[in-house]
Amino acid sequence: MDASTYYINTLSTAFQKLAPIIAWALAGYFIFIRLPFLLFLKNIKDSKLPGPQDLQLEEDEASKRKKEQDNFNDFNRRMKILGGAPHNEQTKSEHKSEQKKEQKKEQRREGPKKRPAPAGDIAAENLFELRPGQSFTKDELRKKYHELLKMNHPDKVASLGQDFKKLAEQKTKDINSAYNKLKSRAS
């Protein structure tokens, strides 16, 4: 018996004795370790337990929805100031009467007018949220102008649709014309 046959016989005998042990070890690994782990992962996916990343995504989505709602509400508020179409159930006459009431309240608050403003300037003052006849500096006017442009830029409302984008473009034009009117009156 040479060395190669001796080793082959020894290894085959050892394999015959160890094969059932290896088979049981592999079966135990798959049954008791691998399978429960796979079932655990499947249950997590099915139940969709919120993990820290999921909670962060939900918070981001909620803050995004809140920001969109705030932008929409802010846009509606600015449209009312400009005298645009109301975006709720109010009729146009109710909207105009409400504007007149607000103007009367402002006039009562400010007292007698210092200087009557031309008719076109009243709309410009309302747009820039100034009281009629109020004095203002060029820096204040420029700051308010840039603020209004930031709020009413068409790219800000592009995600809300074409109608809002057109309204925002119109408002931007109105802001520019109002700024040009008020610029000459600034002290």
| N-term to C-term CA, the chain | 117
74 contact partners, CB below 8 Å, separation of at least 6: 151
Q: Are 180 and 160 in contact (CB under 8 A)?
A: no
175 contact partners, CB below 8 Å, separation of at least 6: 127, 145, 148, 149, 152
Distance of CA 116 to the CA centre of its chain: 42
Q: What is the pLDDT of residues 100-112, one digit of tens each?
A: 777 777 776 665 5
Distance CA 125, CA 134 (A): 9
Q: Which residue has the tokens 């005998």?
A: 13
pLDDT of residue 123: 76
Q: What is the pLDDT of residues 110-163, one digit of tens each?
A: 655 555 555 566 777 777 878 777 788 888 889 989 988 888 888 888 788 888
